[in-house]
Chains A and B, each alone.
Chain A
Amino acid sequence: MLTRLSGGHVVDPASGRDGVADIYVEDGLVVDPPSNGRAADETIDCTGLVVMAGAIDIHSHIAGGHVNTARLLLPEWHRAFQARPGETALSKVGWTTEETGLLYAEMGFTTVVEPAMAPSSALHAHLELADTPIIDKATLVVLGNDDMLMSMIREGESESAIADYVAWTVSASRALGVKCINAGGSAAFKENVRKFDFDDAVPDYGVSSRQIVKTLQKAVTSLGIPHPLHVHCNNLGVPGASSDSIEATIRAAEGDPLHLAHIQFYGYGTEGKRRFSSRGQALADLVNATPEVTVDIGQVMFGQTVTISSDELRQFAGSKQASPKKSIIFDHEANGGGVVPMNYKEKSYFNALQWAIGLELFLLIEDPSRVFFTTDHPNGAPFTTYPDIFALLMDRSVRARWLEALPKSVVKMTALPEIEREYTLGEIATMTRASPARLLGTPDRGHLGAGAVADVAVYRPGEDKAKMFGKAAYVLKDGDVVVKDGAVVKRKFGRALTLRPEPDKAMKTRLDRYFDDRYGLSARWFEVPDGALGRDEPFKVVPCRA
Chain B
Amino acid sequence: MTVDTAWIDGRPATLEDALQAAAGLLDGSRLPFVGGLRTDVAGLRSALSLARRIGAVVDHRLSAAIYPFIVAARENGAFLAAPAEMRRRADRVVVMGDEAAEIGADVIRMLTDASPDLGIGTRGSERLFMTLGSKNAASPGSTASRHVDCASSEIVDVLGMVRAGMAGRRSGEGALGEETVATITSFLTDAGFCCIVFSPAEFGELGTEQIFGLVADLNETTRASTLPVLAAADAMGAALQATWTAGFPLRFAFGRGAGEHDAALNAGERQLSGAGEADLAILIDALDGAAPAEAKAAIPTIAITADPASAGAARIAFHVATAGRDYDGVLYEPRFGSFVAKAAQRNSELPSAAAILDALTEQLGERARDAA
Interface residues of A (CB under 8 A from B): 63, 65, 67-68, 71-75, 78-81, 95-98, 120-121, 123-124, 127-128, 131, 147, 189-192, 203-204, 316, 319, 322, 325-333, 336, 518-522, 524-525, 527-529, 531-532, 534
Cross-chain contact of B76 among A127, A326, A330, A529 (Cβ < 8 A): A326
Total A-B pairs, Cβ < 8 A = 168
Q: Which residue from A73, A316, A529 sits with its C-beta under 8 Å from B341?
A: A529
A75 touches B87 (CB 8 A): no
Lowest 3 A-B CB distances belong to which pairs?
Answer: A326-B77, A519-B84, A332-B82
Contact B88 A72 (CB under 8 A): no
Roughly how many angstroms separate A10 CA and B272 CA in the complex, as a whole number?
58
Asked whether, in the complex, the Cβ of B248 is within 8 Å of the Cβ of A191, the reply is no
Q: Which residues of A contact B248 (CB under 8 A)?
A: 75, 78, 81
19 CB contacts below 8 A, A to B, read: A74-B74, A78-B261, A147-B118, A190-B119, A325-B77, A326-B75, A326-B76, A329-B225, A331-B80, A331-B225, A333-B85, A520-B84, A521-B84, A525-B338, A525-B341, A527-B341, A532-B41, A532-B341, A534-B41
| B88 and A518 contact, CB distance less than 8 A | yes
- Chain A residues with Cβ below 8 Å from B113 are 520
How many angstroms between the C-alpha atoms of A72 and B80 in the bound complex?
Answer: 14
Query: Bound complex: CA of A78 vs CA of B240, how far in Å?
Result: 16
- Do A525 and B336 touch (CB < 8 A)? yes
Residue of chain A at shortest CB distance from B85: A333
Residue pair A81, B88 in contact (C-beta under 8 Å): no
Q: Give the CA-CA distance A78 to B252 in the complex, in Å.
A: 12
Given contacts A68-B243, A97-B244, contact A79 B123 (CB under 8 A): no
The answer to whether A80 and B261 touch across the interface, beta carbons within 8 angstroms, is yes
Judge whether B21 is part of the interface by a CB distance below 8 angstroms.
Answer: no
- Asked if B277 is an interface residue, CB under 8 A from chain A, the answer is no
Within 8 Å CB of A75, what residues of B? 74, 247-248, 261
Most buried by A among B70, B114, B340: B340
The residue that A525 contacts in the complex, of B117, B120, B340, with Cβ under 8 A, is B340
Asked whether, in the complex, the Cβ of A73 is within 8 Å of the Cβ of B240, the reply is no
> Is the Cβ of A80 less than 8 Å from the Cβ of B336?
no
Minimum distance in angstroms from B50 CB to a CB of chain A: 15
**B344 CB to nearest chain A CB (Å):** 11
A329 to B120, CA, bound (A): 22
Which of B53-61, B295-303, B327-335 lines the interface with chain A?
Answer: B327-335
- If A524-B341, A527-B341 touch, whether A120 touches B261 (CB-CB below 8 Å) is no
Cα of A346 to Cα of B302 in the assembled complex, Å: 54
Interface class of chain B by DSSP: mixed
* Cβ B249 vs Cβ A72 within 8 A: yes
* A127-B330, A521-B336 known; A68 vs B244 contact (CB < 8 Å): yes
With A72-B73, A333-B85, A532-B328 known, 9 other A-B pairs at CB within 8 A are: A80-B258, A80-B259, A96-B246, A98-B245, A121-B338, A190-B119, A203-B120, A319-B77, A331-B225
Q: Which residues of B contact A534 (CB under 8 A)?
A: 41-42, 45, 354
Report Cα–Cα, A532/B330, bound state, in Å: 6
Instruction: For A191, list chain B residues within 8 Å (CB).
Output: 119-121, 223
B335 close to A192 (CB less than 8 A): no
Residues of B within 8 A of A329 (CB): 77-80, 219, 225
Once bound together, how far apart are the Cα atoms of A529 and B339, in whole Å? 12
Residues of B within 8 A of A131 (CB): 45, 244-245
Cα of A103 to Cα of B54 in the assembled complex, Å: 24
In the complex, the answer to whether B85 meets A331 with C-beta atoms within 8 Å is yes
The chain B residue with its CB closest to the CB of A122 is B338
Chain B residues contacting A316 (CB-CB under 8 Å) are 219
B247 A96 Cβ-Cβ under 8 A: yes
CB distance from A151 to the nearest CB of B (A): 10
Bits for B59-75, please: 1 = Cβ < 8 Å to A, else 0. 00000000000100111
**B337 contacts partner chain A, Cβ-Cβ < 8 Å:** yes
Tell whether B193 is near chain A: CB-to-CB under 8 Å. yes
In-complex Cβ contact of A73 among B41, B73, B84, B86 (8 A):
B73
**B249 contact set on A, CB distance < 8 A:** 72
CB-CB under 8 A for A123 and B340, given A68-B243, A74-B74, A520-B110: yes
In the complex, the chain B residue whose C-beta lies closest to that of A532 is B341
> How far is it, in angstroms, between the C-alpha of A203 and the C-alpha of B89 when the chains are bound?
13
B150 at the interface (CB under 8 A from A): no
Is B159 among interface residues, defined by CB-CB distance under 8 A? no
Contacts of A189 in B (CB 8 A): 223
Q: Which of A120, A192, A327, A529: most chain B Cβ within 10 A?
A: A192
- Beta-carbon contact of A68 and B81 below 8 Å: no
A421 to B338, CA, bound (A): 47
A79 to B256: give the CA distance in the assembly, Å: 12
Contact B338 A72 (CB under 8 A): no
**Shortest beta-carbon distance, B41 to chain A, in Å?**
6
User: B337 to A332, Cβ gap below 8 A?
Assistant: yes
Given contacts A332-B82, A333-B85, contact A531 B244 (CB under 8 A): no
Cβ contacts under 8 Å, A319 to chain B: 77
Contact status A147-B120, CB under 8 Å = no
- Residues of A within 8 Å of B328, CB to CB, are 529, 531-532
A387 to B: closest C-beta gap in Å = 23
Report chain B residues within 8 Å CB of A520.
83-84, 87, 110, 113-114, 335
Q: How far is the CA of A98 from the CA of B42 in the complex (A)?
A: 16
Most buried by A among B41, B80, B243, B341: B243
Find residues 300-347 in chain B having any chain A CB closer than 8 Å to their own CB. 328, 330, 333, 335-341
